[in-house]
Amino acid sequence: MSKHSLKTIKIGLVVKKDLKAEEKANELEKWLISKKVEVIRKEYLPPNPMFSDKIKRTAPSGLFCVLVLGGDGTFLTAVRWIGDQSIPVLGIKFGEVGFLAEISEDSLFDAVEAVLENRFSTSPRMRLLVKVFRNNKEIACESVLNDVVINKGTLARLAHIQTYINDHYLTTYRADGLIIATPTGSTAYSLAAGGPVIHPSVPAIIMTPICPFTLTNRPLIIPDTSSIKIKLEKPLSNIMLTFDGQQGMKINRKDTLVIQKGLTPINMITVPGQDYFDVLKTKLRWSGGRV
């Protein structure tokens, strides 16, 4: 370990609820402790379908980094735990290849050794800041790394979603829902709904309607400097707003959503030899090799 670490290093650990991942995390924790590293392990909390400020728990300040053992869902949980802090995060994938995990389980200890020795760089990933206003009062404020989704219930009729960009009326989507995604989130739900793949370094926001009634309503890419305002045109019940698939809340015609680029990105640790396009073509099963 390098000389910079004479004082105790604290590292956060977020682990998927999975026997294999938990066993590896226990092994990693013992190894880190043997190197005089203090480990702060986040307790597992499943995604909560209903939004509540009361259950927000933020990672302690002063963490050197956060290590995530699991898939993309676990990574998003870790990002919410980090909050608006500039703590770098490294994902270690278990099971299927994910877009957010940087390294495989086999490379775990070598990668963490490199991190402890400061042999790594970080890549900033844009987040979206989502605010919900009801009767001109802010009732929710969340940051998302992947996406914010407006979705109707299974039996509900089409949602009518009035959409404005920089206070200029764009259209009213008649659809099952609407996804507002970051470039990082372009390979998640937005992609499944027919949206484009956008490299994480491209300064853009993606708007992807879900099963639009009008077939000419196509995904739209707008500058990341844009402010998006959304209202429901008709008083429908069972319309949900979800943040990164981790938490949700019911919204109604009285609500106004304001979505724009967040002030603080997430700093993802990158290691040599891993290329975004290799992960992309492997996950999407394109020709050209595997990671």
Amino acid (1-letter code) at residue 115: V
Strand partners, 10: 38
Identify the three-state secondary structure at position 117: coil
Q: Provide the CB-side half-sphere exposure for 170 (13 A, CA).
A: 22
From the list 89, 112, 100, the residue with the least C-alpha distance to 27 is 112
Pairing assessment for the beta strands 65-70 and 89-93 based on DSSP bridges: parallel
Q: Would you name the residues annotated as active-site residues?
A: 72
Cα–Cα distance list, 102 to 154, 166, 194, 247 (Å): 35, 35, 25, 24
7 phi, psi to nearest 5 deg: -85, 160
278 phi, psi to nearest 5 deg: -65, -45
